[in-house]
Structure 1
């Protein structure tokens, strides 16, 4: 399997489990929207900001982000829409990349002003692993969604996406 195929599959997985998590959060009633819920939104917003920062870096575009954290998160409705749009961008981006583009090293600047240098493959792997870490953090903040968080494994996604793998 090529790095392109693997990374595209991992990003489709990320989009799928992000979608499940966002649906689970949306299903929580207003009474469940506690301080922990708002902390979870901040965590998801952080992961999303990092996704956007790296999308700009992958394209060698500037961005206006000066930090990867914000004291305020957008509403769940807005954040869910933004995350889903960004996830689609990553899936489409990796689907059309060439192997040479995957291996290309890109110089960029971190939000703290420090220099960075990573291959596109490394940046994409960072996006996948970083988001997974923070989805797990949200699962710990909101135990009511634990059953959804427990489905956040790549092997499970592969078998849900392609049931023939179970035969």
Structure 2
């Protein structure tokens, strides 16, 4: 059984996020080719939006500029390319969450939203936003999948925490 303490909660949540992302990408990749093109496109757009927001906040957490001027890209990436990019970002976020200190979590970072307005959040708030934002949009993709007859994803935190030992390999 997996145990969790408060200090490592963010690490666990980012392990979960990476696992849930990968689970969803596997489901999308398994859809028959040449079928449900509109739904696959819509799902990819949603997941690309999550990726873009993750990358924006990755830059914000490091107080670095980013090149995004919108919350999604104009072009829609291929699902396999997006999956690889998401895995890379999930690895970065997991490493960051695993090494951040309590003092750093409380530190306020000022940044600019893509619409030009000023933003001000603690690092802990930013990380929490990324976890909840991803959950929200994975749910939207799950709804799209259910409309084409794909059974609901079993990608909740409880399923992640209680998965069998042989499925506990590196989540990304």
Paired residues for 1:84-103 under 5 Å: 84-103=87-106
Instruction: Find the aligned partners of 1:15 and 1:103 in 2 and give their Cα distance.
Output: 24
Instruction: Find the aligned partners of 1:156 and 1:139 in 2 and give their Cα distance.
Output: 16
TM-score, normalised with respect to structure 2: 0.88
Structure whose residues are more often helix by fraction: 1
Could you tell me which runs of 5 or more consecutive residues in structure 1 were left unpaired when the two chains were aligned. Answer: none
Tell whether the 8 Å contact from 2:10 to 2:98 is kept in structure 1 after alignment. no
Match in the other structure for 2:169: none
Match in the other structure for 2:85: 82
Shift of 1:161: 6.5
Instruction: Find the aligned partners of 1:146 and 1:109 in 2 and give their Cα distance.
Output: 40
117, 121, 130: which one aligns with 1:118: 121
Tell whether the 8 Å contact from 1:42 to 1:71 is kept in structure 2 after alignment. no
Could you tell me which runs of 5 or more consecutive residues in structure 2 were left unpaired when the two chains were aligned. Answer: 167-172
Paired residues for 1:1-167 under 5 Å: 1-2=5-6, 4-143=7-146, 144-147=149-152, 149=153, 151-160=154-163
Instruction: Find the aligned partners of 2:136 and 2:155 in 1 and give their Cα distance.
Output: 10
TM-score, normalised with respect to structure 1: 0.90
Give the number of equivalent residue pairs.
Answer: 160
Partner SS, residue 31 of structure 1: coil
Shift of 1:9: 0.6
Deviates more, 1:46-55 or 1:93-102: 93-102
Q: CA, structure 1 residues 161+105, in 2 after alignment: closer, same or farther (shift >3 Å)?
A: farther
Report the RMSD for the aligned CA atoms in angstroms: 1.5
Tell whether the 8 Å contact from 1:25 to 1:145 is kept in structure 2 after alignment. no
